[in-house]
Amino acid sequence: MKQDKLVTGQKKSFVSAQQVAARAGVSRSAVSRTFTNGASVSPGTRQRVLQAAEELGYTVNHLARGLIQDRSNIVSLVVADLNTPYQAKMIEVLTRRLQAANKVAMVINSAGENADVETALRQTLHYRADATIVLSGQPNASLIETCLANGQHVILVNRDDPVPGPETIVVTNRTAASQAFDMLHRAGCKKLVVIGSAVGSASLNAREQAFVAAAEDAGVAVSVTRLGPTAYASGVEAARLVLSHAEQPDGVFCLTDLLACGFLDAARNEFGLSVPDELCVVGFDDIEQAGWSSYELTTFRQPIEQIADHVVTLIDHHHPTDSVQEPKRFQVQPVWRKSVRPR
């Protein structure tokens, strides 16, 4: 039995349904139907086909299947900063959920030159992906429009492009940001600072603006520092800049936990500040490190599981439209830890 695979040729090539059919003594259609859900095959032939398939090591060729059906079962995830804790977690959950739905994730790294991003993003069209999930602010709106023009199903996460077509998922950035202000305000902070990054994205801008607006409404001084990429090192640098200034802030809202970790470390280890006594810090995302005992960061939790679930739902029930879609909005939950004085 087992030798057949070798005897048929040293080619070690993949087995086709034709070969299985020959071995089982049935037509190729029977093989196809055996592996097609809800097709009509008698238990007898099904059994023989399955056995022959097992013996030969047959696997349905999804390239051919995708060619004839209009679904490839491939979903492409477009992501930059893949080694960021937040994005990594998102990919982790998404791949798991997609697999549970019998789909498979194709990951497209959208970091780097714009031209490279375009060729990379074109892969989603090459492979006729069922949907494209854009998780980063990196690809231009114009590149996304290219995908849309080719009939791609595009789902944007945490973006804010006023483009007709794609479905959009966002979180309650503004609500949370003004809640962040309340936290710091009630803790008695008088001089506030917002730490952002130089690149900026829709979510980050929304958080920044809402926080500043809330502070100004309450008549509290606030300034904004944008520096480098959204990374730990940027938080460190921002702290050096801000804390060496004449009048130190006593309340900080970092638009990202990663920034917050950097800021906290620099504030404590380089400026000897005690948190939350002399300085209160609020982050955003609730990455794993925010819960580590060196940080104990008060922050806002992104509902990653809910977002992933909704993404999978959207993929299955797609109603293409040419109008701008109302974004689906998920709530972020405040997570109280120890980087802000209790009221």
Partner DNA sequence: AAAATAGTTGCACAGCTGTGCAATCCGGTC
Partner DNA sequence: GACCGGATTGCACAGCTGTGCAACTATTTT
8 Å CB contact between 204 and 191? no
How many amino acids of this chain bind DNA (CB under 7 A)?
A: 29
199 binds a copy of itself (CB under 8 A): no
Residue 147 phi/psi, 5° resolution?
-60, -45
8 Å CB contact between 298 and 286? no
141 binds DNA (CB under 7 A): no
Q: Which region among 11-19, 137-145, 209-217, 285-293 touches DNA (by CB under 7 A)?
A: 11-19
323 binds a copy of itself (CB under 8 A): no
Binder to a copy of itself among 120, 206, 260, 281 (CB under 8 A)? 120
Cα Rg of the chain, angstroms: 26
242 binds a copy of itself (CB under 8 A): no
Instruction: Write down how long the chain is.
Output: 343
In the complex, least distance from residue 301 CB atom to DNA, rounded to whole angstroms: 42
Closest by CA position to 57, among listed 102, 124, 6, 99: 6
User: What single-letter DSSP state applies at residue 291?
Assistant: G
Nearer to DNA, 48 or 89 (CB): 48
Both ends of the chain: CA-CA distance in Å?
A: 75
* Contacted by 39, from a copy of itself, DNA, none: CB < 5 to 8 Å by type: DNA
Residues of this chain, 164-183, that bind a copy of itself according to CB under 8 A: none
Nearer to DNA, 67 or 141 (CB): 67
Nearer to a copy of itself, 116 or 316 (CB): 116
Residues of this chain, 34-53, that bind DNA according to CB under 7 A: 35-36, 39-45
Closest by CA position to 225, among listed 242, 212, 240, 210: 242
Closest by CA position to 239, among listed 281, 302, 201: 281
| C-alpha torsion sign, points 275, 201, 138, 100 | positive
In the complex, least distance from residue 220 CB atom to a copy of itself, rounded to whole angstroms: 30
Edge-to-edge strands of the sheet including 221-226? 221-226, 191-196, 251-254, 280-282
272 binds DNA (CB under 7 A): no
User: What single-letter DSSP state applies at residue 51?
Assistant: H
* Contacted by 83, from DNA, a copy of itself, none: CB < 5 to 8 Å by type: a copy of itself
CA 235 – CA 297 distance, rounded (Å): 14
CA 251 – CA 181 distance, rounded (Å): 9
Nearer to DNA, 74 or 222 (CB): 74
Nearer to a copy of itself, 148 or 222 (CB): 148
8 Å CB contact between 222 and 194? yes
318 binds a copy of itself (CB under 8 A): no
60 binds DNA (CB under 7 A): yes
CA 120 – CA 139 distance, rounded (Å): 10
- Helix, strand, coil proportions of the chain in percent (round to 5)? 45, 15, 40
Residues of this chain, 15-34, that bind DNA according to CB under 7 A: 16-18, 26-30, 32-33
Binder to a copy of itself among 89, 159, 207, 310 (CB under 8 A)? 89
| Interface contacts to DNA, rule CB under 7 A | 13-14, 16-18, 26-30, 32-33, 35-36, 39-45, 58, 60-61, 64-65, 67-69
| Interface contacts to a copy of itself, rule CB under 8 A | 5, 12-15, 57, 59-64, 66-67, 70, 72, 74, 82-85, 88-89, 91-92, 95-96, 99-100, 104-109, 111-112, 116, 119-120, 122-123, 125-128, 146, 149-151, 232, 236, 261-262, 265-266, 268-270, 288-289, 292-295, 320
